Structure 1
């Protein structure tokens, strides 16, 4: 194992970068169905009697949520639900993190930092976005935790990626991308039958310059979420 350090810049601070590829647009209803499926597949019970608060209780292993009507948007509801789902992965029967910290404690702040980075990654990958409006409640605790351990941000990013892997976030992202690509190819919903196209097989030279460029770009895109999280 090796540690690498990166200096990260905003795009508008750089010259000569190629234009980024347009982000795949997934219909709202379809991506919300994938979020519902993710919540169901997790096996963690959701209780919608949470009043005006959203939280996870490790002692009963349940997530408590306000009703959907309490949120300004459906994307906001799912972003909050998946944030709490991130906390639930710390249960002793899952990833086994320390969830005993109370609000204001350093361990609580570190868990929230990990969950916020996960929420950012998850929102980008599933297309539901991320609302940083809740950060203000934790800023002081995060500053204290990062002063005591400057590398805590790296550990939090690593922990957030573990949560993504545990919940198989990439699987739901790939389902969404496949759905959009099917629509682009056929102009129809993916559930409708379409003609099968046959193409003549051709030999691929994986060492050709254009193939190497494609592989490098693919590697960069896979690292983008991690680098954005480090920048955050």
Structure 2
């Protein structure tokens, strides 16, 4: 009789790892990739997306270039003894089932899968051509922030009427305190990015249920939306090349994230995905079938 196959709960693995970091007072999505570069696959040059982006960026490598074991072997390299791979996730579409008589046609289902990659710093004998210099920002950080805002399609009105930062989904506008009331210009834009992520949930944009529906303060959906805005703002910070050192890292603040994640193991993957869609919208990146996902399916490694 064959032994039962062990089921790997990818959601729980990811959640456990994030909670472990939070318990050490480390908020992984706040780790910028301004110097190390946006995490990407070394050979395909495809940038990682969603939760994979900041899971890799938070590792602290000098250069955020990664390969699968198959890729390392293919170029004649090797992974150093004792080095461990870094888990990434992707969505795999299941084969469509033909609806039975009298049943409505169902949407294709997807399941969360995983595979592993290694940073170039974990490898030996890679060709010299793979030694890539640090990226250089060609424009100023504040100029980059302004460019992000100016290029956003269907950008809401940004007012400076009250000394409070918020997005009003009913009237579809953002209110910000005057820039001079912030300690630094970077802090102003970090806060504005947070509100911009919120506004992408409006029904005229991405129609995200956490914004489009009325959700009470303190509810789970409210918490998910705040996490989405938090992660999305951090994405935009790194893209603009700014680092905000004034984030609230208080015990109570971090405990709130831990409670939210422990209450639902799917939250962190979902919120990261929504944050990616929001940043794509703000940066005017059109939706497309990511080649990264089909590549990941081919390179999936199980344990």
Pair in the same fold by TM > 0.5? yes
Q: Cα deviations across residues 162-216 of structure 1 (Å, max 9, x unaligned)?
A: 1112122569xxxxxxxxxxxxxxxxxxxxxxxxxxxxxxxxxxxxxxxxxxxxx
Which stretch has the larger CA shift, 63-72 or 42-51? 42-51
| Equivalent position of 1:203 in the other structure | none
1:106–1:144 Cα contact (<8 Å) kept: no
| Equivalent position of 1:124 in the other structure | 238
Structure 1: segments with no counterpart, 5+ residues:
172-218, 224-232
Residue among 167, 189, 197 paired with 1:86 = 197
Distance in 2 of aligned mates of 1:16 and 1:62: 49
Q: Quick check: 1:103 aligned with 2:217? A: yes
1:55–1:65 Cα contact (<8 Å) kept: yes
The alignment yields a C-alpha RMSD, in angstroms, of 3.2
Higher strand share: 2
Structure 1 residue 80, shift from structure 2 partner? 1.2
1:109–1:138 Cα contact (<8 Å) kept: no
User: TM-score, with normalisation over the residues of structure 2?
Assistant: 0.48
Structure 1 residue 19, shift from structure 2 partner? 6.6
Judged with a 3 Å threshold, the aligned counterparts in structure 2 of structure 1 residues 69 and 167 are, in CA distance, closer, same or farther, namely same
Q: Which structure would you say has the larger RCO, counting Cα contacts within 8 Å and 6 or more residues apart? A: 2
Distance in 2 of aligned mates of 1:135 and 1:8: 30
Q: How does 1:12-27 map to 2 (within 5 A)?
A: 15-16=122-123, 21-27=133-139
User: TM-score, with normalisation over the residues of structure 1?
Assistant: 0.61
Q: Quick check: 1:160 aligned with 2:275? A: yes
Distance in 2 of aligned mates of 1:96 and 1:120: 21
- The total of aligned residue pairs comes to 170
Higher helix share: 1
**What secondary structure does 2:190 align onto?**
helix
Q: Cα deviations across residues 129-160 of structure 1 (Å, max 9, x unaligned)?
A: 34561354643432222112112101111111
Structure 2: segments with no counterpart, 5+ residues:
1-90, 93-111, 125-129, 287-291, 297-303
